[in-house]
Structure 1
Amino acid sequence: MLLNVFKVRPKDKELNHAVRVALIEALYASRASLGIGALLGGAVAAVTSYYCRTTLVEVTGLLLTLCGALRVASFGIFRPGNLSAGAKKWEILYDIGAVSYAALLGLLTLEILLISPDLRLHALMATLATGYAAGAAGRNTGRPFIAIGQLLSSALPISIGLFATDRGPAGMLLAVANLLFIIVVTDITLLTYKTVLEAFIDRQEKLQLATVYEKLSKTDPLTGIDNRGTLRLTLERLLQHREQAIAVLWLDLDRFKQINDTMGHAAGDDLLHHVASRLSKFATPMASVARFGGDEFIVVVPVENVEHALKLAEMVREVIAKPVGSGQGLMDLTVSIGIAISSPGISSDDLLRHADVALYEAKAKGRNRVILFDPEMERRLVDRQHLEHDLKRAIAQEELDLHFQPIVNLATKRVESFEALLRWHHPIHGNIPPSTFVPIAESIGLIDSLTAWVLRVACAEAQRWPDSISVAVNISAGLLKGRDLPTMVVEALMASGLSPRRLELEITESAIVEDNPNAAGLLDGFQKLGIRVSLDDFGTGYSSLSYLCRYKFDRIKIDRSFISSPDRQSETRAVVQAICSLAKSLDLSVIAEGIETPEQEDYVVSQGCAAGQGYLFARPMPREHIAGYLAGTPNSADAVSPRITPLRVVRSNA
């Protein structure tokens, strides 16, 4: 028993507040039993005062009755669930009442045993005190020191009274038995308290875990804001009980992957924290901010009209655009936003899909912009998805084809090379331009296999031409970032037996504008093999003299947009003159694309262009027409422009 006493926590200081509240509520749980006990105590006090007419007994009985009445009144005032701030007050009130009542009952019992000779009163008080002690021990198990205090205060006076008066052997035996009763009940109380306490603590821990799990199920673990599950519930609730239109703003951080790759995932996570914190200012009881996944966030908010939604989106974009500090300096952010606004009867899934489609449109148009959903966007997206599926099949089954357009030496009028141009004849939609399907191939990860196929076919075809004619192949920007391009080129050359000097790789300005660290090494490696490298579409918006100094090129191709009307646009003429002058100073040859008239040919020749390409010389032709074209007997009316005579395009070794 003593060991159990030491196991009881002194004053329950280690109990958390919730467990303490639960135990106190248990003390006040049974009002009926307390009322019956107080009524019985008052009746016994009246009986003892009637039969033992002494002032001391009468006063003690009156105090006992009054104490019982006050305790019943306090139980009537107590309300479960209101203990958040007043738990300690109710605990102290109960302790004082319980100990006072037990002490008065014990005192009255002792007085009767010492003063009254009436054995009936002795038996009555002993029975009441013993029953109260047992009942208090059971009722107050949650407060063991109070239970033991009540037990000692009410039952111990019985043994004291018996020992103090000469009751003979029977009286002494009864006094000892009462002491043993006190010891046994004390031990049982402590054991019961230990069990009850563990049950309370276990229940509280489960409730806390349940609270934690519920919060985790509703929030994003990284940022602490709502997750996609909570977002959907909020959106469905707003759609069901809306009084205004509901706008969904779907946000995607621009170039977040680049930040992760260059600055590390820790910096990326920190950035997401900052963004979530900034977006939280838009969260209200009627609006939700959630992280949908990755670097995508969604704001769901009631709006008055379309203008209100667009204004809100611009506010969000401005908030996100503020620089974010990091250990590596300030990071500038931009965000693309797609907006969808609810209409009568629309589902949450459809509304989210519309916002996602609008976001896709925003990113496709250059990022850092806000786009409102339009049904036409979804139609275009569906068409693109169908096109992606068809392109995968076409690449797998080698249904694409290569056409070749000659590049002519403007001084000798001889063909010096052919540019390989991809063609795709769709069985339903007809001819689809490379500007449409090549970006799709890049986005779905098929550009590698497509380029490898183009290199193999182009090199194999060039091997059938005269030795002085080379082949030019366009290289996608994404391939310069990987490590597979050199392998593709070498395998194509080895499989065809084509000399490296007869292969030319055309790199667009957009491929190097991102300052790819791999680009310089790749280009230098190709040139060491003897492969020529040209800068394609020069002057189309990204031009920088630093590219020509940083990367080594063999020649520059002037985009066709500068050749189309040189006689009417002084700005165009100035650009062409500047490019040709720059190329001459850097010892680079210049190819002019898009030559369609003799006047355009004469103009580019006067500016110093060494080679030309365009419909004036020939349209892109199937590979089977090349032999006839070189021989001056085209197989197709479309292969050679009517302006071109066989003398203009001849074999270079003739």
Structure 2
Amino acid sequence: MARAFGAEAQDAQIRATLAQRMHRRPIGLFTGVVCGLATGCVVAALSTVPLLRMAGSLLAVVAALRVVLAYVASESGGSAGDWARRAYPAGALLYAGTIGLAAATALLLETQNDLKILLVGFAMTLGAGIAVGNAARPVIALGQMALTFLPISLACLVLGTLPMLTMGLILPALAAGLTFVTFTAYDGLAQQVRAAQEEQRLAAQMQEQARRDTVTGLANRYGFETAAQALLLHDETRQMKALLWLDISRFQEINDLFGHHKGDLVLAEVARRIRTLLPEGAVAARFGSDEFVILAPVPSHRGVEELAAQLGQQIKNPIRIGTDRLEAGVAIGIAFAGPGSRDLEKLMQHGALALYHAKLAGRNQIAFFNPAMTRELARRKEIESELRGAIQRDELALYFQPIIDLATGRIRAFEALVRWFHPEKGELTPDEFIPVAEDTGLIITLGNWITRTAARACASWPGDVHLAVNLSPAQLRAPGAALGISAALRDTGLDPARLEFEVTESLFVEECHETTVFMEHLAAIGVRFSLDDFGTGYSSLHYINKYPFSTIKVDRSFVSGPATGLRTEAIIRAVAEMGATLGMEIVAEGLETADQVAGVRAAGCTLGQGYYFSRPVPEHLALRLLEEERGLAGRLLAG
């Protein structure tokens, strides 16, 4: 009994599990009580002894109540089912005691032998069956055996005959053996339940790990999709939902400069800051290496704007990792799901499009999805597909615009410009297809083709005429980019000193190691670099000081834009003086009139480019310009 009470106290959860299984499948319980009902009814009907008839009737009533309780416990929910299950132990003990007393009464009274055999046989059968049937509750099992066997054993001792005395001693021994059977069955059941519970725990743990990002502690992609879908399907608030897709800028640079360990610490800190701002009921996850996604119920469009602004500010704040002070930015794309919307896939597509436009707009920008983005995406997909075919079918052509020495009027260089003549849509401007090429990686193939084709053309020009080629950041950062350009120069026979790459300040906004290595490698073999569109970005002197630029191109807005005047002239003069001091060429773009040419020349610019001299022309016309220029040097300036 001590062990029974110990098992009851220690394994409450196991007992509850086993009891639930018993009540879910109560076939054994129903069988036992139906047999008891039948036994009680037979005894009550056939016994000639009033006291035994009363015992039989009581047994039938208790058995009937057990049938009702068993049914309610297994089939009913709520308070009725709970009450029936709580009443089960008391009912089991009452039922066993009633059977034991009825059997003992039959033994002590003068009645039919067949009724004695029926009652004692049923009592002993039930008492033995209890050992296994109620093994989930050892206390109840032992209590039922005691209440069943003890009255019979006492009755046998009262009768005093040798057979009865033998039975009276056998029953306690039988009870001891059945107790062992009870605990053996209980231990086996308990081990099964423990094993099942451990499997469930491990499965739940593995499922949680499968849904969790180990670096940030946020959900991963799978976990987010599961939680977000549940939020859309089961949200009772019927609020509008906002998806915020965040892309951390400069994270790759942090990884490259400080290592992946500190990069992980930065991600963990970003995740912590995101958590502090999450609205109630929101789901947040880390997507990819440096992207985070949030789905949140929101009261209004204005509320989302404020949340996005707070997220942007928090992430832009410096992050202290050890002795290092790191800074990152963030682009945020936002899409909305109306009340009742359940299409997570479409919402994710809209969020990704919004993020794409935020990144196009520059650093630390926020963009909201609108349907025009979908149309634009379809248009870009169409251009991408057609551009791949155009490269293969040689639909692209190079045009060359001369760059003129403002002191002599001679052609000093040609800038190579790509043109696409679509067989159905006519000429497509570079502004239409170059951004698509950059976003899809086609710019690498296109840029290599431009460099090789232009270098081959330049190799046939006079040796003092240089070639200028625009360089995309994506092309520069491609693996082996410098080696590919070196191979193109070698194959075409062009002197590297005649090639100049034009790059914009956007290349340096997120400085990276690859940029420095690329430029240093090519500069070492003689290739020159020009800083294009100077004056439209940060116009940072840091870039000029750090990188090997030999030329600065003043943006056309300072030459022919609507805001030209004394201020822009002063700016051009200052840049020209700086270039002269540093030994750099200064190119004025967008020259369209003789007065503009005279103005930039007076300001100190050394080179000029624009429609005043020539529009971009095909290769054969570029050769003709060179031929004419050799005999008529200075004609354009004199005219």
Partner secondary structure for residue 317 of structure 1: helix
1:281 partner amino acid: P
Q: Is the 8 A contact 1:279 1:289 kept in 2?
A: no
2:224 equivalent to 1:227: yes
Task: Quote the offset at 1:523 in angstroms.
Answer: 2.4
Q: Which residue of 1 aligns with 2:439?
A: 443
**Judging changes above 3 Å, is the alpha-carbon distance between structure 1 residues 331 and 7 closer, same or farther for their aligned structure 2 residues?**
farther
Q: Is the 8 A contact 2:227 2:283 kept in 1?
A: no
Deviations 1:475-501 (CA, angstroms, capped at 9, x unpaired): 112233344222122111111112222
Q: Is the 8 A contact 2:36 2:60 kept in 1?
A: no
Trace 1:393-404 onto structure 2 (pairs within 5 A).
Answer: 393-404=389-400
- The correspondence for 2:578, drawn from 574, 579, 582, is 582
2:144 equivalent to 1:150: yes
**Judging changes above 3 Å, is the alpha-carbon distance between structure 1 residues 491 and 9 closer, same or farther for their aligned structure 2 residues?**
farther
Deviations 1:144-181 (CA, angstroms, capped at 9, x unpaired): 3432443245325645654676524x446655665675
Task: Quote the offset at 1:519 in angstroms.
Answer: 2.8
Distance (Å, rounded) in 2 between the aligned partners of 1:511 and 1:249: 30
2:449 partner amino acid: W
1:147 partner amino acid: A
RMSD: 5.0
Distance (Å, rounded) in 2 between the aligned partners of 1:486 and 1:103: 96
**Judging changes above 3 Å, is the alpha-carbon distance between structure 1 residues 565 and 386 closer, same or farther for their aligned structure 2 residues?**
closer
**Judging changes above 3 Å, is the alpha-carbon distance between structure 1 residues 362 and 548 closer, same or farther for their aligned structure 2 residues?**
closer
Partner secondary structure for residue 564 of structure 1: coil
Trace 1:424-503 onto structure 2 (pairs within 5 A).
Answer: 424-503=420-499
Partner secondary structure for residue 549 of structure 2: coil
Q: Is the 8 A contact 1:505 1:532 kept in 2?
A: yes
Distance (Å, rounded) in 1 between the aligned partners of 2:130 and 2:3: 21
Trace 1:338-349 onto structure 2 (pairs within 5 A).
Answer: 338-340=334-336
Q: Which residue of 2 aligns with 1:320?
A: 311
Q: Is the 8 A contact 1:259 1:268 kept in 2?
A: no
1:134 partner amino acid: A
Distance (Å, rounded) in 2 between the aligned partners of 1:537 and 1:614: 14
Q: Which residue of 2 aligns with 1:557?
A: 553
Partner secondary structure for residue 628 of structure 2: coil
Task: Quote the offset at 1:444 in angstroms.
Answer: 0.7
Deviations 1:576-635 (CA, angstroms, capped at 9, x unpaired): 11111211222222121122211111111112211111122211110011221112189x
Partner secondary structure for residue 527 of structure 1: helix
State the number of aligned residues: 615
1:426 partner amino acid: H
2:311 partner amino acid: I
Q: Is the 8 A contact 1:322 1:332 kept in 2?
A: no
2:19 partner amino acid: L
Q: Which sits farther off after the overlay, 585-594 or 10-19?
A: 10-19
| TM-score of the pair, normalised by structure 1 | 0.76
Deviations 1:165-220 (CA, angstroms, capped at 9, x unpaired): 6524x446655665675466556545554565566566666777887799899998
1:314 partner amino acid: E
Partner secondary structure for residue 424 of structure 2: coil
Q: Which residue of 2 aligns with 1:639?
A: none
Q: Is the 8 A contact 2:398 2:417 kept in 1?
A: yes
**Judging changes above 3 Å, is the alpha-carbon distance between structure 1 residues 52 and 190 closer, same or farther for their aligned structure 2 residues?**
same
Trace 1:56-71 onto structure 2 (pairs within 5 A).
Answer: none
2:470 partner amino acid: N
2:529 equivalent to 1:538: no
Trace 1:83-482 onto structure 2 (pairs within 5 A).
Answer: 126-127=120-121, 129-134=123-128, 136-137=130-131, 139-155=133-149, 158-159=152-153, 162=156, 166-168=160-162, 170-171=163-164, 174=167, 178=171, 181-182=174-175, 185-186=178-179, 189-190=182-183, 192-193=185-186, 196-197=189-190, 223-224=218-219, 227-229=224-226, 231-232=228-229, 235=232, 246=240, 248-255=242-249, 258=252, 261-262=255-256, 264=260, 266-267=264-265, 270=268, 273-274=271-272, 277-278=275-276, 280-283=278-281, 289=283, 291=285, 293-294=287-288, 295-297=291-293, 299=295, 301=297, 308-309=300-301, 311-323=302-314, 327=321, 334-340=330-336, 353-366=349-362, 368-482=364-478
| TM-score of the pair, normalised by structure 2 | 0.78
1:648 partner amino acid: G
Partner secondary structure for residue 495 of structure 1: helix
Q: Is the 8 A contact 2:398 2:419 kept in 1?
A: yes
Task: Quote the offset at 1:543 in angstroms.
Answer: 0.7
Q: Is the 8 A contact 1:557 1:593 kept in 2?
A: yes
Distance (Å, rounded) in 2 between the aligned partners of 1:16 and 1:260: 53
1:277 partner amino acid: R
Distance (Å, rounded) in 2 between the aligned partners of 1:165 and 1:346: 79
Q: Which residue of 1 aligns with 2:601?
A: 605
Task: Quote the offset at 1:431 in angstroms.
Answer: 2.1
Distance (Å, rounded) in 2 between the aligned partners of 1:437 and 1:416: 29
Task: Quote the offset at 1:403 in angstroms.
Answer: 1.0
Q: Is the 8 A contact 2:243 2:334 kept in 1?
A: yes
Deviations 1:203-262 (CA, angstroms, capped at 9, x unpaired): 666777887799899998962496325545654678xx9978x55534233427537745
Task: Quote the offset at 1:66 in angstroms.
Answer: 12
Distance (Å, rounded) in 1 between the aligned partners of 2:485 and 2:353: 38
Distance (Å, rounded) in 1 between the aligned partners of 2:185 and 2:12: 20
Distance (Å, rounded) in 1 between the aligned partners of 2:385 and 2:71: 75
Q: Percent identity?
A: 29
Q: Is the 8 A contact 1:320 1:335 kept in 2?
A: no
1:142 partner amino acid: A
Distance (Å, rounded) in 2 between the aligned partners of 1:172 and 1:431: 116
Q: Which sits farther off after the overlay, 597-606 or 103-112?
A: 103-112
Q: Which residue of 2 aligns with 1:640?
A: none
2:618 equivalent to 1:622: yes
Q: Which sits farther off after the overlay, 220-229 or 129-138?
A: 220-229
Query: Where is the helix percentage greater, Structure 1 or Structure 2?
Result: 2
Structure 2 residues not aligned, in runs of 5+:
none
Distance (Å, rounded) in 1 between the aligned partners of 2:564 and 2:117: 128
Distance (Å, rounded) in 2 between the aligned partners of 1:358 and 1:292: 18
**Judging changes above 3 Å, is the alpha-carbon distance between structure 1 residues 65 and 390 closer, same or farther for their aligned structure 2 residues?**
closer
Distance (Å, rounded) in 1 between the aligned partners of 2:292 and 2:48: 83
1:388 partner amino acid: E
Q: Is the 8 A contact 1:409 1:610 kept in 2?
A: yes
Task: Quote the offset at 1:430 in angstroms.
Answer: 2.3
Task: Quote the offset at 1:407 in angstroms.
Answer: 1.4
Task: Quote the offset at 1:317 in angstroms.
Answer: 0.3
Distance (Å, rounded) in 2 between the aligned partners of 1:256 and 1:14: 56
Deviations 1:419-473 (CA, angstroms, capped at 9, x unpaired): 1111112223322222332221111112222222112111111111111112111
Trace 1:22-101 onto structure 2 (pairs within 5 A).
Answer: 22-23=18-19, 26=22, 30=29, 37=36
Task: Quote the offset at 1:358 in angstroms.
Answer: 3.9
**Judging changes above 3 Å, is the alpha-carbon distance between structure 1 residues 551 and 273 closer, same or farther for their aligned structure 2 residues?**
closer
Partner secondary structure for residue 422 of structure 1: strand
Q: Which residue of 1 aligns with 2:504?
A: 508
